[in-house]
Structure 1
């Protein structure tokens, strides 16, 4: 009969009582300090002593126990992969929420429909969820999340959802800025790249709608032509090969990466940039500045009314407050040689 090898004795798991003894304070003080409770006055030297004791012992508060005491977790679900502008917001949010003592978990909703995604998120019992643009939450999904303990459900993207708070990144403004610039340069038949890449549909549609509105609001006769394009050299070469038959004199490349891909293919096909076709991207990536001609772009920035993490924290603390909408996108053209 085989025997299991002798296991080394386990190192005792440090407790809040151990932290309290090392810091010379009560367990209640340890709890107040490590849970960032500011309702009780505790001197900064004491707070520092408690944190140093916890760090020295390797003590980490027990999330499940803390959740039982509070009646909810401190887990905030943030979407995983996002377009660059959204990823900037998500990164800022993640850092800020951790400083506010929230546990941040990135979720990937690929392959789920809206209700399946809501049920998957609800299993984690989050205190708040940021839903990506690709998931159109339904009343059922909202109900599942709130009944599971979510105190704030927030949509992130070009559209808001009834019943949820909204951090709106109006991608249409990016398309409007790009096409206004091309119109100002005398371009009248303008292509708009529509990526075939999964997950980009809502953003591309919003940018196309903005491009169309720019033409409609102008006082010139012009047109917009959608250009479906995969992010592959062969796809860009095929489009460039029939470019002159499309009679386009300007193109908004969706973003700098797609614009760079198409501009290279146009140049290889003998189409002059910008002599025959002006090209503009979006995102103001370093890549665009390295191209020749240098790529015109729409620079975008976040214009939050307060630090995003503080905004989310306020919505969590006031779960019955009326739904809020915040428009966070600020866009401006960075004109270079390609247009």
Structure 2
């Protein structure tokens, strides 16, 4: 037999819900109820198990597009992929959120939107007909963008940036309080001339700018912004000119930048905390393993389960846009570096 005739042989038929129903000994409607996690119909656990086992044996997978047509909407929750390093704290939070949404039977789709403007990104997202969009604020959205997503079927548009967007459910993450807590801690320790490390990396100003503003708003603090890249070379360059800056404390954007700077300051012969007090943010475990142990601002984020339930509620019961400002708290944690 020739190679061409082999390749022209028909492939195995794609299993259908009717095949699953026959294998499990139930109706096609029951198969649909079980595999689509329909809550309105009560089906016994043994029957659910039989249907799932039959589907697995046959290799049957429900057709998402067909299910969406029947329901009138998808179960897609679209999350633009962060295109800047957001750090371990936020990465863990986003992982928890995705798992929690999956347990609620949503399909989480991460969309790479690097290089797209607000209008371009929203048109691309709308093509997928998501039932909800969760934006971290890296792409600036407008009221018109929110309206476009809603016309495309999005029942909820949720933003998690430092400011609210008209028409969207806003979960306002107040980054200013992080800078304020750090600067207030340093002032309480008798430090007034504070250098605030601002990352040179593009995109992080979404978080770093309000943290700097929060530090500047603390009474008694004299704040100087200090750009620094996330590299040993940049930290060493800043440490080498530290004495000339006449600063007695540093608040770094987060613990990772703080650890880089503290190591460079020590290499430069500066004593921490005697000559320079150093504090970071995020309360990473590795900061507690350093010597001196790193002071930090501990940030309490909402749990993934809690935020997923808010998304689910917004999808099930669409309402006017709301704002929540109570989902994140911050407190300074004193250790040896201050």
Please indicate the TM-score interval, normalised by the length of the shorter structure: over 0.9
Q: Is the 8 A contact 2:100 2:304 kept in 1?
A: no
Q: Is the 8 A contact 2:97 2:305 kept in 1?
A: no
Shift of residue 52 of structure 1?
A: 2.1
Q: Is the 8 A contact 2:132 2:156 kept in 1?
A: yes
Q: Pick one of 103, 107, 130 that aligns with 2:107.
A: 103
Instruction: Verify: 1:4 aligned to 2:4, yes or no.
Output: yes
Ranges in structure 1 where 5+ consecutive residues have no aligned partner: none
Matches of 2:244 and 2:33, distance apart in 1: 70
- Which is worse superposed, 7-16 or 268-277? 7-16
Q: Is the 8 A contact 1:248 1:277 kept in 2?
A: yes
Matches of 1:29 and 1:80, distance apart in 2: 37
In structure 2, what is the equivalent of residue 70 of structure 1?
Answer: 71
Matches of 1:315 and 1:233, distance apart in 2: 45
Structure-to-structure mapping, 1:1-339, within 5 angstroms = 4=4, 6-7=6-7, 8-81=9-82, 82-213=86-217, 215-216=218-219, 221-303=220-302, 307-319=306-318, 321-326=319-324, 327-339=326-338
Q: Is the 8 A contact 1:299 1:331 kept in 2?
A: yes
Matches of 1:306 and 1:58, distance apart in 2: 31
Q: In angstroms, what is the RMSD of aligned CA positions?
A: 1.8
Matches of 1:311 and 1:225, distance apart in 2: 39
Matches of 2:215 and 2:67, distance apart in 1: 50
Matches of 2:87 and 2:112, distance apart in 1: 14
Shift of residue 305 of structure 1?
A: 10
Q: Is the 8 A contact 2:93 2:301 kept in 1?
A: yes
Deviations 1:85-117 (A, max 9, x none): 332332122111111221111122221111111
State the TM-score, normalizing by the size of structure 2.
Answer: 0.93
Q: How many residues align?
A: 332
Shift of residue 306 of structure 1?
A: 6.4
Matches of 1:5 and 1:240, distance apart in 2: 72
Note closer, same or farther for the CA distance 1:267–1:259 as it changes in structure 2 (3 Å cut).
same
Note closer, same or farther for the CA distance 1:193–1:329 as it changes in structure 2 (3 Å cut).
same
Q: Is the 8 A contact 2:97 2:303 kept in 1?
A: no
Deviations 1:174-199 (A, max 9, x none): 11221111111111111111111122
Deviations 1:263-296 (A, max 9, x none): 1111111111111010011111122122221111
